[in-house]
A = this chain, B = another copy of it.
Amino acid sequence: MSAIQFSSRAAVAPKISLKKSSKVSVRTGVRAQAVAARRTNKGERNIPPYKKGEIRSNHPALCVRFLAAGVSADAIQDSINSIRFLAIDAINKSNSGHPGLPMGCAPMAYVLYREAMNHNPKDFTWPNRDRFVLSAGHGCMLQYSLMHLTGYPSVTHDDLKNFRQWDSMTPGHPENFVTDGIEVTTGPLGMGFCNAVGLALCEKHLAARFNKPDATLVDHYTYSIMGDGCNMEGMSGEAASLAGHWGLGKLIVFYDDNKISIDGHTDISFTEDVSARYDAYGWHTQHVVDGNTDIDAIRKAIEAAKKDPRPSLIKVSTLIGYGSPNKADTHDVHGAPLGKDETEATRKNLNWKYGEFEIPEAVQKAMDCSAKGAELQAEWKKVESAYASKYPEDYAEYQSITTGKLPAGWADSLPSFTPEDKGVATRIHSQTALNALGGAIPGFVGGSADLAPSNMTLMKQFGDFQKDTPAERNIRYGVREHGMAAIANGIALYAPGFISYCATFFIFSDYCRSAMRVAALSGAGTIYVMTHDSIGVGEDGPTHQPIEHLASYRAMPGMLMMRPADGNETMGAYKIAVEGAANKRPTTLALSRQVVPNLAGTTKEGVAKGAYVVQGEAAGKPVDCVLMGTGTELELACIAGEKLAAEGKKVRVVSMPCWELFEEQGDAYRESLIPSDCKCRVSIEAASTFGWAKYAVKSIGRDGFGASAPAPTIYKEFGITADAMVAAAKSLM
């Protein structure tokens, strides 16, 4: 048994001086290369004993079939170093960035982008492409280098030189809304991994739903690279547990185990057995002992991962900043440019003969995946064509999901209400909407974080998406709000026709917040169904009663914060939410636990304007008083309005379910509803009054925490009543 790995824990990167041998087969080439490397690294070998799950390239042969056959060992090694040096050079030039990860992960990333992945750089929208997510998003120069080298037009040679500059295509973390070919936006650690679980879920779902014995329309892998940071984050644990539970066998995740984080060596805070943890989640785990040079081991690990029905974690031990003689294996190389001197030293150490941003011609040729990608896509197109002819109805559904074109008349499924209709909680109206939309829209999928019977989020016509029933559309997320929200975002970004919703109590949106923000930033049009939206929760008390949450989402860019008042408004809110999803804008819906009546003046169309008149003086007419309310308190505003009108006051009651949409209507509309010269403008909302000063002179709400008691008692004790609104209005008139 010849050992060809090097310890990835050597304090200094091995000084490699490879003997070049051209035109050898991949395996021979890699072997030759490894042997050469071994020859120059005798003193640094420190090969630990084999452990369960370890993959080394001299394992008894696993069949390796990758598309790099025909590429010389030289070209491979130069390709890997090209990835490294493009990252080094770009980061030096911008004087900002994270070279450590690209340098360490270049070999696994090379194998992924050049060999393992089926992708067409010239058509990043190909539905059956393999997905890749760099969860350790700070290492984005790795991905930009790869994309440039494999032929993505979105990352030109100039773009690499423009790294992290204003208006560039190569921002400081991967941003799907900037760079074509980036699947999701990463950077907040753990987030990308969860997105990847969502992407893999979609593949499993679509494959089960659409593939036929004679036509495999959907069949691809989802790959991700995560680091120590991603694995420390709890959210990745949540998603990993779900991926294991769901049996997402085509999810293959590389864990870049470089043992360095910003605080230094992971020994100081991260000594758990990560692979054993993934074993416990039901994953297939492997360990590539030397991720710095053992390319064949990486290939074999991917092969083994594909053969196993479980999701796969491939721990790859690497040196952060591999190749840098003085900074490798230290946190100095994590988040700062190498600098001129160390770059020069690294160049010598890796025997790199090329200049700044220079890409050897052989590498350009060897790395370009355009032809391979076009061929793969063309083959798939044939399958698609045959499928379209043979299964036109299924294909129409599939197309709705992959193109995002919603079926005609989908919004007609949402009912209207009159005051004669029985009042129910808006979460019950929400259930009606979800069930209607589930029937009308092929890509409508979602679920709750273990609160389905409280959030009212089950689509009754469908079963559960589970390991053995993946064609179903109700997702059971368990009590994992953060993971849920990020998985839901992954689903939303998989294909434009997936309308992905997820649900919990509004208070626990706090757990999801980071993922909700990334949705707003990255154009994941997820619908966040948040019920139990105020002190109306009652007995569960202040730990369960949102106060500042409406304000906090109104302040969040890109997020529609909707708080509908009754049946019509809930339906209007869902119409906006689905349109928003199609337009890459997420919506947060705040829905009540408690019953509300269907009010006389509410309309779906009104909701679309964000605010509108529901009672009293029409827009533009002179008024003594404007009363504003949202959600469950709109009823109180209406009662207050009636009382004041009975006293001869000219009153306008304005419903304000969505401030963002209202602001988009422009000043004239705003003035017609809430004239700034009207001294008597009063708002009511069972929540923090923070932000209302923009519209109201006096605001009735609750700026402290809630309390545990029956809801009507709390409303009374906190003075959130129609009478209080009347009194406030009178004090201003």
Q: In the bound complex, do residue A709 and residue B451 qualify as a contact, i.e. CB atoms below 8 Å apart?
A: no
Query: Which residues on the B side are within 8 Å of A464 (C-beta)?
Result: 268
- The answer, yes or no, to whether A274 is at the interface (CB within 8 Å) is yes
Name the distance in Å between A664's Cβ and chain B's nearest Cβ.
12
Bin chain A's interface residue count: 35 or more
Closest to A551 in B: B555
| Complex contact A175–B280 (CB within 8 A) | no
A708 CB-CB contact with B under 8 Å = yes
Nearest to A237 among chain B residues (CB) is B237
Query: Please, which residues of chain B bring their CB within 8 A of the CB of A272?
Result: 241, 244-245, 280-282
CA distance A451 to B232 in the complex (A): 13
The yes or no answer to A269 lying at the interface (CB within 8 A) is yes
List residues of chain B with CB within 8 A of the CB of A554. Answer: 690
CA–CA, A143 and B379, complex, Å = 64
A671 on the B face (CB < 8 A)? no
Which of A451, A479, A688 neighbours the largest number of chain B CB atoms within 10 Å of its CB? A479
- Closest B residue to A276 by beta carbon equals B280
Query: Which B residues touch A477, using CB under 8 A?
Result: 269
Chain B residues, Cβ within 8 Å of A710: 96, 164-166
Alpha-carbon distance between A266 and B476 when the two chains are bound, in angstroms:
10
| Chain B residues in 8 Å Cβ range of A520 | 705
Q: A479 near B261 (CB under 8 angstroms)?
A: yes
Contacts of A185 in B (CB 8 A): 543
From 522 to 565 in chain A, residues with beta carbon under 8 angstroms from any chain B beta carbon are: 538-544, 547-548, 551-552, 554-558
The digit string for A473-490, where 1 denotes a CB below 8 A from any CB of B, is: 000111111110000000
Question: Taking A188-B508, A245-B269 as contacts, is the C-beta distance between A262 and B708 under 8 angstroms?
Answer: no
Does A425 reach chain B (CB closer than 8 Å)? Answer: no
Q: Please judge, given known A-B contacts A229-B450, A263-B452, A541-B187, whether A557 and B552 are in contact too, CB under 8 Å.
A: no
Among A229, A543, A694: residue with most chain B CB under 10 A: A543
Judge if A236 is at the interface, Cβ distance under 8 Å: yes
Within 8 A of B (CB), among A226-280: 228-230, 232-238, 241-242, 244-245, 261-263, 266, 268-274, 276-277, 279-280
Q: Give the residue of B466, B547, B556 whose beta carbon is less than 8 angstroms from that of A557.
A: B547
A268 touches B166 (CB 8 A): no
Q: Do B282 and A234 have beta carbons less than 8 Å apart?
A: no
Comparing A195-203, A494-502, A510-518, A568-576, the segment that makes contact with chain B is A510-518
Output the least CB separation between A86 and chain B (Å).
17
Q: Measured between alpha carbons, how far is A269 from B234 in the docked complex, in Å?
A: 17
One of B97, B234, B555 near A235 (C-beta < 8 A): B234
**A713 at interface by CB-CB < 8 Å:** yes
B residues in contact with A97, CB < 8 Å: 539
Asked if B690 contacts A555 (CB within 8 A), the reply is: yes
Contact of A268 among B168, B476, B704 (CB under 8 A): B476
Q: Which residues of B contact A205 (CB under 8 A)?
A: none
Whether B270 pairs with A280 at a CB distance below 8 angstroms is no
Number of copies: 2
A100 within 8 A of partner (CB) = no
Contact A714 B557 (CB under 8 A): no
B-side contacts of A544, CB under 8 Å? 172-173, 187
Docked CA distance A228–B517 (Å) = 28
Per-residue CB proximity of A125-152 to B under 8 Å, as 1/0? 0000000000001100000000000000
0/1 string, A320-340, CB within 8 A of B gives 1: 000000000001000000000
Q: What are the residues of chain B within 8 A of A693 when measuring CB–CB?
A: 691, 693-694
Chain A, 690-721, contact with B by CB distance < 8 Å: what is the 0/1 string? Answer: 11011000000001110111100110010000
**CA separation between A230 and B480, bound complex, in Å?**
9
Alpha-carbon separation in the docked complex, A2 to B490 (Å): 53
Q: Is A453 an interface residue (CB 8 A)?
A: yes
A510 and B521 contacting across the interface, CB-CB below 8 Å: no
Indicate whether A234 sits within 8 Å of B482 (C-beta atoms), given known contacts A272-B245, A694-B693, A717-B166: yes
Assembly CA distance A400 to B476 (angstroms):
49
CA distance A273 to B228 in the complex (A): 22
Whether A188 touches B507, Cβ cut-off 8 Å, given contacts A262-B451, A282-B271, is yes
Task: For the complex, give the distance between the alpha carbons of A237 and B147 in Å.
Answer: 35
Query: CA of A514 to CA of B234 in the docked complex: distance in angstroms?
Result: 14
Judge whether A186 is part of the interface by a CB distance below 8 angstroms. yes
A21 within 8 A of B: no
C-alpha spacing A16/B234, complex, angstroms: 41
Instruction: Decide yes or no: A476 and B263 within 8 Å by CB, A268-B464, A510-B514, A551-B555 being known contacts.
Output: yes
- B454, A262: Cβ atoms closer than 8 Å: yes
In the complex, A167→B279 CA distance in Å?
A: 48
Q: Which of B172, B175, B450 contacts A262 (CB 8 A)?
A: B450
Shortest Cβ-Cβ A-B pairs, 7 listed: A234-B234, A187-B543, A171-B708, A269-B478, A276-B280, A555-B690, A166-B709
Q: List 19 A-B contacts (CB under 8 A).
A: A165-B708, A165-B710, A171-B542, A172-B544, A175-B541, A175-B543, A188-B508, A190-B479, A230-B479, A232-B450, A233-B511, A234-B237, A234-B480, A237-B237, A237-B238, A272-B282, A510-B513, A558-B704, A691-B693
Q: A188-B507, A189-B479 are in contact. List 12 more A-B contacts (CB 8 A).
A: A94-B539, A166-B710, A234-B235, A241-B270, A241-B272, A242-B269, A261-B478, A262-B453, A262-B454, A554-B690, A555-B691, A693-B694
